[in-house]
Structure 1
């Protein structure tokens, strides 16, 4: 089975026939691309997101392409909703083999003393509490299946970045949570890895859409300018990140756990930030 033309081809070890994958934050961006790539590789996919319209659109797109997908609305910061998400996943497909913790928000751009406490708490709730809750309720099922978990962190979880204190702290937490889970659950047959994307051609949480047109254009120009300073000189396409996520979720990465994989065009090799 192949992925879409932009995403290349799967290998034999990257086939997911008979396996069930849960992808959070799958209404758009990296999550949507990952859900589609997993389905194209044979997985039955649970699409989870707080946005019912866009989330169901992802699931419908997968089904229209001949795949199997089911949408479940979920705020990953809410323990009861996450518990229900896992119960419905098992009720729908009977098992869980792959968890992709992708849901995340940016938190805006302020220095720490300018950041509202409520905004800090919200970023932590989605970006760090969310992966904790999803892992907590998924791990018993993943242990039953000797499954895999991939956490979507960020290069901002590896280095400091301008005006992003909550985002950097939350993604740094995801990075080290990944390592810790690998230690505890490797003996149970569960592999846990993370990807750290750099500049990706996506609008996280529709942030630019909430700006005035001039501000949105300036934000995009600033992002593209920063990406141009990297060794590869551009932003990533979401499929380029999704391919790495699928690799880490698959048997092709069978001796990898606790790995933190940058997909960043070389940005963490340069430290060239243009504020």
Structure 2
């Protein structure tokens, strides 16, 4: 992806109010940036206060209207408070991007710690449920949009990822169900399923040390090289699709599960 490719403008979101969870880094940070570039005002919601504040400040330094609100998406009290803070600051909610997520590491199911399973489900599936629950009354008022960030691992089986696959499969099913109930109420709900993206989910790669990081990235690069486009995505390539789904350019889309995966789910991964 070239720098020129990254400058393709999104459809206008002028004046729209967006919540992006997990927006302190990676896809969430890129999404917040893309929405602001399209004219939206953005709440950066993240459990990491330091990184979240820095992300919001960076957006403001570049002319955006952004504010950080601390939030653990697995905590109902914090989610409700985050939505209320958004409404108090901006006057409503037009867009909810449920991006916050964790990988949960790699394990066969019979070796998987129960607490790890519960934590992955709490962040990856309970989180979108809670955010939608408290945002939907406002989204119905604004005829707004939800974009859920699922994964190709929610569509296919993947080795050593039972909790992550199950949680992201739940996000896919929840997306379709919410589209059924809330389309007649004026709210569109879609999901993106990224494939291999050059990002460090939950900081897991950073904890490996230099050699571990290099090895982990090499494994991802090798896997990505076997798919049709032959590389990992840049976070901006995912963010641009999310911005499209958040905009009026996708006005007749709801319940759609959009793969942004370099073609990896179209073919066997011969490895």
Partner of 1:10: 9
Confirm or deny: 8 A CA contact 1:24 1:102 kept in the other structure: yes
Scaled by the length of structure 1, the TM-score of the pair is 0.96
How far apart are the structure 1 equivalents of 2:7 and 2:188? 25
Q: TM-score, normalised by structure 2?
A: 0.97
Q: 1:225 aligns with which of 217, 222, 227?
A: 222
**Matching residue of 2:104:** 107
In structure 1, the partner of 2:82 is 85
Q: CA deviation at 1:6?
A: 4.7
Task: Write the distance in 1 (CA, Å) between the matches of 2:270 and 2:103.
Answer: 17
The structure 1 residue matched to 2:113, chosen from 113, 116, 135, is 116
* Poorly superposed stretches of 4+, deviation over 6 Å: none
Could you tell me which runs of 5 or more consecutive residues in structure 2 were left unpaired when the two chains were aligned. none
The residue correspondences of 1:229-244 to structure 2 (distance < 5 A) are 229-244=226-241
- Distance in 1 between the 2:251 and 2:60 partners? 29
The equivalent of 2:258 in structure 1 is: 261
Structure 2 Cα separation of the partners of residues 97 and 176 of structure 1:
22
Partner of 2:206: 209
Distance 1:135 1:227 in 2: 32
Instruction: Note the C-alpha offset of 1:257.
Output: 0.1
2: CA distance, partners of 1:270 / 1:233: 13
**For 1:54-73, what per-residue CA distance to the aligned partner results, in whole angstroms no more than 9, with x for missing partners?**
11111111111111000001
**Please, what is the CA RMSD of the aligned residues?**
1.1
Aligned-partner Cα distance in 1 for 2:119–2:153: 17
- Alpha-carbon shift at residue 273 of structure 1 (Å): 6.1
1:246 corresponds to:
243
The runs of 5 or more residues in structure 1 that have no matched partner are none
